Amino acid sequence: MQAVHPGWPRERQYTEEGMASADGTELPAAGVQAERGATCSEICRLSTCEYKGCHTERCFAELPEVKKALGPLIRSAKATAKSRIETRTPFSKEYVWVRSKLLGSGAFGDVYRCRRQDEDQYQYAVKEINIAAFGEVNTLRDIFREVEVLQELSSSNMCHVVEFVGFHRSHETAWIVLRLLPGQPLSKLIKGMRRVAENDRHAIVLRLATELLEMLSVSHLKGIAHGDLKPDNVFIDLQNCHRMTHVLDWGLACKHEPGSKVVILQGTLEYLAPEVVSGWIAKSKGAEPQPVCPSAADMWSAGCLLLEAYTSQSPFQMGWWRLATMQQCTGILKLQTNWAAGGKGAKKLESILSRCAPQAQTFFRGLLEYDPRQRLTASQALHHPYLSFGQSSSRKHD
């Protein structure tokens, strides 16, 4: 067994029954805790750097090779002082914002940084949504769903979810105020991590996987599936030893009874589960899409983004940006089907998986199981040996 990476909490170990700390004390596993009604923060308190004796000074941002490779991204994650170019927000006299520079943009709106009038630094992000531009009924429904989900998750102290602060709206515009997240989108870090030493990179992925699955194990038990898990919607703060990972953009979240099935017709194609892609294709042909398990669809998406973080290559990105959406759907579903059957179309994915350690391969195969009934749940994934204390995350060896 290899030595534990210095950036990984030393007193964390998942087992089938629970977690064992370094002093031998048995601690309930995240999935077990969630079933008993524990909040996400209570689960994460047992599995991150708040353990007694954990070397919190050895965060990833302080590791020499990580600092050298990702220095610009790490430095840009720090809070910024107030700008000279700022104006009062139209939704509240309490806030001012910088409209001249976008923090980000998406399908339904743009995001800007803002601060309270009595504060010196920008601690909030405002998502501005043009209601009229997207159709008032559908847009308002999506906005209210996101607000409702964020309120519920924030009230449950979900420590790996972007914190909800407030909601405002006028006749034509809506604004969602969120806590400004430090760090960078995982999509940016993935490109930079190609330059990071292998052991450091895989240790980061282990922490990412654990924190993401801890969050999903609780949200899924609450009947909330994210619906659009992808690297752009995961923020990573390598300077934070306690909470490195945050999930944002819950606009496509699906609330459902745990274990029930619903029709899903939204998401980002290359991260969608096969059963969801099949529904898209059925809908385009005038057929009735089959309902699917939203939590299981989330787990496929989680497998795609974690494998991409591990290998710096998206498993189902085909580069078909010139093709119509239904042609893309058909092509990706064919690749997913061939992957399940071990056909020729699975060569690319097998090539990507071959770069992973043996236990990592079984972990990703469990998440990317074609049959949603056989796919790992978040709680099961947390118990996988790949995430266990002291397991090697390096490439497979002879």
Residues making up the binding site for ATP: 127
Task: Please name which of 69, 15, 48 lies closest in space to residue 245, comparing C-alpha atoms.
Answer: 48
Select from 383, 65, 28 the least CA-distant residue to 203: 65
CA–CA dist 104, 387 (Å, integer): 32
Q: Would you call 234 helix, strand, or coil by DSSP?
A: strand
Residue type, 218: V
Half-sphere exposure of 318 (CA within 13 A, CB side): 22
Helix (H, G, I), strand (E, B) or coil at 113: strand
Residue ranges for the known binding site are: 127
Q: What is the DSSP code string of 299-311?
A: HHHHHHHHHHHHH
Query: Amino acid identity of 96?
Result: V
Measured distance CA(194)–CA(196) in Å, rounded: 6
Distance CA(72)–CA(77), nearest Å, equals 9
CA 289/CA 262 separation, integer angstroms: 10
Closest CA to 212 of 142, 106, 309: 309
Which amino acid is it at 157?
N
Q: What one-letter code names the amino acid at 201?
A: R
Question: What are the residue ranges of helices labelled H in the chain?
Answer: 30-35, 40-47, 64-75, 131-134, 136-155, 186-192, 198-221, 274-284, 294-311, 325-341, 347-353, 358-367, 378-382
